[in-house]
A and B are shown apart, each in its own frame.
Chain A
Amino acid sequence: EVQLVESGGGLVQPGGSLRLSCAASGFTVSSNYMSWVRQAPGKGLEWVSVIYSGGSTYYADSVKGRFTISRDNSKNTLYLQMNSLRAEDTAVYYCARDRGKYQLPFDYWGQGTLVTVSS
């Protein structure tokens, strides 16, 4: 059974850092594209970043230069390192299996982890 479990969210001050984790089971992270998507309170969905199976990474303009997506193949885990956090980064962050490699969309999502940026 495919499962994604995020962790690492919490309260952080503006300018601070946080690292989110997404532990996967039932499939191999490194064989798939993996994306992070966020949702600000009461708002819609915003794609944040993707890491390709080959290791290439892409970011939304809103987080470029501040966030870094990575993975640990030995732990089958995806990460999102978030630096220089701003109030507008407050959101629930979801990891999702991105089937773009097969011309398909996100088919599995984690339960989400809440990041609150506030002083």
Chain B
Amino acid sequence: VIWMTQSPSLLSASTGDRVTISCRMSQGISSYLAWYQQKPGKAPELLIYAASTLQSGVPSRFSGSGSGTDFTLTISCLQSEDFATYYCQQYYSFPRTFGQGTKVEIK
């Protein structure tokens, strides 16, 4: 099993801020990492795959980086619609595993 450590679990920020979320793997996964956004009562939505590739329709203020064991999601200029919970996920092997989630809330 590949374990994932996502941090921070809670991030308080203001509109316009630049925010960064980290995800660390217990073993290398090359670039088989995805980031999802989830809003209350809704299903997760794919933001980024292959560590840094933006899913179609996702705003360019979202970006991802990293490979191997350390990955980062950055939102360059936080918008009101970005306040949500974010999850990383490895799809290198089964069982698929997710990070614990990062809730981005309004400061």
Seen from chain A, the residues whose Cβ lies within 8 Å of a Cβ on chain B are: 35, 37, 44-47, 50, 58, 60-61, 94, 98, 100, 103-107, 109-112
A105 touches B46 (CB 8 A): yes
Please name the residue on chain A nearest to B48 by beta carbon: A105
A57 to B99, CA, bound (A): 23
Please name the residue on chain A nearest to B91 by beta carbon: A105
CB distance from A71 to the nearest CB of B (A): 18
Cβ-defined partner of A105 (8 Å) among B38, B49, B100: B49
Cβ–Cβ < 8 Å partners of A112 in chain B? 43
B43 touches A94 (CB 8 A): yes
Interface SS of A by simple majority: strand
CB distance from A49 to the nearest CB of B (A): 9
A60 to B94, CA, bound (A): 9
CB distance from B87 to the nearest CB of A (A): 6
A103 touches B97 (CB 8 A): no
CB distance from A77 to the nearest CB of B (A): 18
Task: Beyond the given A45-B87, A106-B44, please list 13 additional residue pairs across the A-B interface where CB-CB is below 8 A.
Answer: A37-B96, A45-B38, A45-B89, A46-B98, A47-B98, A103-B91, A105-B46, A105-B89, A105-B91, A106-B34, A107-B49, A107-B55, A109-B44
Please name the residue on chain B nearest to A111 by beta carbon: B43
